[in-house]
């Protein structure tokens, strides 16, 4: 019985591996609305949707845009595990672009998130393109961001940051897209991190299990 308990305890203490799901929080995603020449600018972190939108019809008073921001905490991606893949999962609600706009926009990763504190209102913009939103069907987008998040981890950043940017190319422009937010009923943005334990950690843990089991057996034989 003691051997079984020792074995179970050792396996339970083995560094966790498999899939981790890291969602944004209500404060960790939101969008900024800007209207040129007006005072109607605001940051929204409570809507059910994150908006990336750009419209311009030739004059400064027709220029409006929304930029979405997301921050994902990396705190639960502990030591002793080797990350094999990371997927950014967003639920696309809608997208559009006019004849003068080549696409709806972009999802971008921030190469430097050293100053991130978990609040999307910091407006940390992405600098690396993850995907261009053009003809994607509404629904889940699963985007490979492994190398980008691994760089965040290697640099010791506490958060991975992304932004939703409308396409601003063209002259008469009308482009944008929306994704579900952490405040929506479902379909929250999340990172899916797949990891495997480091070989050395596995060997060390199994060695501990065997030693513990052996000690239990010897103790059982003693008078």
pLDDT of the chain, 223 residues: tens digit per residue:
444 434 333 433 444 458 999 999 999 999 999 998 778 899 999 999 999 999 998 887 789 999 999 999 999 997 666 999 999 999 999 999 988 899 999 999 999 999 999 999 999 999 999 999 999 999 999 999 999 999 999 999 999 999 999 999 988 889 999 999 999 999 999 999 998 765 544 433 444 434 444 444 544 554 5
DSSP-derived 3-state class of residue 117: coil
What tokens does 170 get? 């063209």
Evaluate whether 66 touches 53 at the Cβ level (below 8 Å).
yes
- Burial pattern 178-216, b for ≥16 Cβ within 10 A else e, equals bbbbbbbeebbbbbebebebeeebeeebeeebeebbeeb
CB-CB neighbours of 150 under 10 Å: 16
Domains of the chain listed by start with CATH number: 23-201 (2.60.120)
């Amino acid at each position: 019985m003691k051997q079984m308990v020792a074995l179970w305890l050792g396996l339970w203490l083995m560094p966790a591996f498999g899939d981790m799901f890291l969602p944004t929080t209500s404060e960790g995603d939101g969008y900024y609305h800007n209207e040129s020449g007006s005072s109607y600018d605001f940051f929204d972190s409570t809507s059910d949707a994150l908006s990336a939108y750009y419209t311009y019809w030739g004059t400064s008073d027709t220029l409006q845009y929304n930029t979405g921001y997301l921050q994902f905490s990396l705190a639960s991606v502990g030591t002793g595990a080797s990350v094999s893949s990371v997927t950014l999962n967003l639920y696309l609600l809608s997208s559009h672009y006019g004849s003068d706009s080549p696409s709806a926009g972009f999802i971008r990763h921030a190469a430097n998130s050293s100053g991130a504190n978990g609040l999307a209102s910091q407006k940390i913009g992405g600098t690396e393109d993850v995907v261009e939103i053009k003809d994607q069907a509404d629904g889940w987008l699963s985007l490979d961001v492994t190398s980008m998040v691994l760089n965040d981890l290697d640099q010791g950043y506490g958060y991975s940051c992304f932004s939703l940017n409308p396409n601003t190319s063209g002259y008469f422009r009308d482009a944008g897209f929306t994704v579900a937010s952490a405040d929506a009923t479902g379909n929250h943005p999340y990172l899916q991190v797949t990891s495997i334990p480091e070989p050395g950690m596995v060997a060390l843990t199994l060695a501990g299990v065997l030693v513990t089991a052996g000690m239990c057996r010897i103790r059982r034989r003693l008078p």
